[in-house]
Structure 1
Amino acid sequence: MSIPVDLADLDRTLADFDAGYLLTTSDERVKAVSVAPDLVDGVLVARSPGRGSCANVAANPQATVLFPPRLALGFTLLVDGTAEVDGDDVRLTPTSAVLHKSVGGAA
């Protein structure tokens, strides 16, 4: 089950989640690193996610931040967007967001 999140409500939705994972890609694989991004003027700012993530973003700006549920079988928040490197940080401008729960998850 998926529920689209209005990007105008992203700050309110993020209040229900803790740290997430920045997902970037290289030619070889997906790289996942733990981040606690701040939402600044509609942009998720991941502070110092590491050189590998920054290199991936420089080569392919499409990225996702996955926020797992706080409770088992809760909703996962997926925020897709276009990322850019800003010094040691990655700034992701969201293009879409969705709350996702597996079919077997409790309501």
Structure 2
Amino acid sequence: MSIPVDVADLARALEDFGAGYLLTTRDGAVKVVSVAPTLSDGTLTARGPGRGTLANLAANAQVTLVFPPREDSGMTLLVDGTGAVEGEDVQVTPTSAVLHRPADHA
């Protein structure tokens, strides 16, 4: 089951979640790091995710943020976007978002 989230409503959706995971790719390999991004002016900032993530973004700007549910059978928030390196941080401009869980968890 998937429920689209308007990017303009992302701040409200994020209130139901804690830390998440930033996924980047390079040469077919996925790198996953734990992040606690903040949202300001429509941009998510992930502070200090590490050199591997920053290197991945130099090769491929497409990212996904995954915010797991706080309770069993809850919804996961998935945010796709474009990442840019700002010093040691990553700025993510969201392009789409969805709340998701398997249908059998309803």
TM-score (normalised: structure 1): 0.97
Query: How far is the alpha carbon of 1:28 from its aligned partner?
Result: 3.7
Query: How far is the alpha carbon of 1:58 from its aligned partner?
Result: 1.1
Distance in structure 2 (CA, Å) of the matches to 1:2 and 1:33: 24
User: Which residue number in structure 2 is paired with residue 61 of structure 1?
Assistant: 61
Q: Deviations over 1:27-51 (max 9, x none)?
A: 0411000000000110010000000
**Structure 1 moving runs of 4+ over 2 Å:** none
> How many corresponding residue pairs?
106
Alignment of 1:25-104 (within 5 A): 25-104=25-104
Distance in structure 2 (CA, Å) of the matches to 1:83 and 1:5: 19
Distance in structure 1 (CA, Å) of the matches to 2:57 and 2:41: 20
The one-letter code sitting in structure 1 at the alignment partner of 2:74 is: G
The one-letter code sitting in structure 1 at the alignment partner of 2:102 is: S
The one-letter code sitting in structure 1 at the alignment partner of 2:21 is: Y
Q: Any unmatched runs of 5+ in structure 2? A: none
Query: How far is the alpha carbon of 1:104 from its aligned partner?
Result: 1.5
- Structure 2 SS opposite 1:52: helix
TM-score (normalised: structure 2): 0.98
RMSD of aligned Cα (Å)? 0.7
User: Which residue number in structure 2 is paired with residue 105 of structure 1?
Assistant: 105
Q: Any unmatched runs of 5+ in structure 1? A: none
Distance in structure 1 (CA, Å) of the matches to 2:11 and 2:68: 16
